Structure 1
Amino acid sequence: MLKIDALPQVPRWAVLAAHAVPLVTLPSGLWRIAQVSGLPVAEQSGRNGREVVLAVSLTVISEGLALLALGLVRPWGEMAPRWLPLIGGRRVRTLAAVVPALLGAAALCTIGGWFACSQAAGLIARVTQTPAQQVLLVACYSPLLAWGPLLAATTVAYYRRRTTVL
């Protein structure tokens, strides 16, 4: 059985949701890396160094941001690690974690909804893609739609836990 280390008062569902966040961003990142590596995940006219840097950077940044969700269920989300400059060893203020996380969740839900409603059909129906490439694209990018709701739910659990008077 998978043992997930978290604070004892964190609900199990919140721990699972926080750990799911980096996993839902991973397939799209792997798809981008595969595309700029020349694997046949999509038809393309050519790659240049700028596209490679952009794809790798977007993947690293999105995965890094997704990993921050773990702070909502881990001790370092309540007490900053000592090695951090300026804030190391200090208690993390609840709203300092909650406000950016909820703004991020709102942005992710908005972008995901807009993309799903207005852009996805055109991207998927590109004539130059094979049916297998279309299925792979959808399979890799669909999990991103869960990022915003998972982050929002985990953030609300964090807020409730940190503000509840015992």
Structure 2
Amino acid sequence: MTVLPSSIWRLPAAFGDGLGLGERAYVVSLSVLSEIFAFTAIGLIARWGEVFPRWIPFLRGRRVPRRAAVLLAAIGAASLTLLFSLLLIASEVRGTTIRGGDDLPADYPSQAGGWEAAWFHFCYAPLILWGPLLGVLAVAYWKRRSAAERTPVAA
């Protein structure tokens, strides 16, 4: 749920005036890929995060390697936390864009003021939580799977 508001906010911009086909495809792809990556975190709490589902060839029915799942989740959590923290600092505190420009256009949502800026911040603020929440899920997954592997199986 931390990714959905920003994805929804971006989609109307993809179909606004002044964007070329490539830019529109980029914005839509960014939203779709963000949602796909966010959905993979469900694997840290769902059954398919412990045993590969039947529809995955060659892996179906096998246990998901605990260390691999936690390592990928930890790398993702650290990367997302760093990325969104730096972007917050760069865009709000220093007033720079991701491209490094010192001045943002007057119509840039976070600079425009009013309801546009409020809506922009409301939709993008939850992204700051994506990394830390993924980290919490990774730790919980590690603990749950470690405890399950230590528990003897009843015959």
The answer to whether TM tops 0.5 is yes
TM superposition score normalised by structure 2: 0.83
**Percent identical:** 38
The two structures, once aligned, show a CA RMSD in angstroms of 1.7
Within the candidate set 118, 137, 160, 2:90 is matched to 118
Structure 2 gaps of 5+ residues are: 98-102
For residues 55 and 31 of structure 1, the distance between their equivalents in structure 2, rounded to whole angstroms, comes to 10
Q: CA deviation at 1:120?
A: 3.1
For residues 29 and 86 of structure 1, the distance between their equivalents in structure 2, rounded to whole angstroms, comes to 33
Q: CA deviation at 1:112?
A: 1.1
Question: Relative contact order (C-alpha < 8 Å, sep 6+): which is higher?
Answer: 1
Count residues in correspondence. 138
Q: Where does structure 1 differ by over 3 angstroms across 4 or more consecutive aligned residues?
A: 123-126
For residues 105 and 24 of structure 2, the distance between their equivalents in structure 1, rounded to whole angstroms, comes to 22
Within the candidate set 12, 15, 20, 1:34 is matched to 12
For residues 139 and 53 of structure 2, the distance between their equivalents in structure 1, rounded to whole angstroms, comes to 23
Q: Which position in structure 1 is the counterpart of 2:106?
A: 127
Structure 1 gaps of 5+ residues are: 1-22, 39-43
TM superposition score normalised by structure 1: 0.77
Q: Give the stretch that moved more between structures: 72-81 or 129-138.
A: 129-138
The answer to whether 1:142 aligns with 2:125 is yes
Q: CA deviation at 1:89?
A: 1.4
Amino acid in the other structure paired with 1:58: L
Q: Which one has the largest radius of gyration?
A: 2
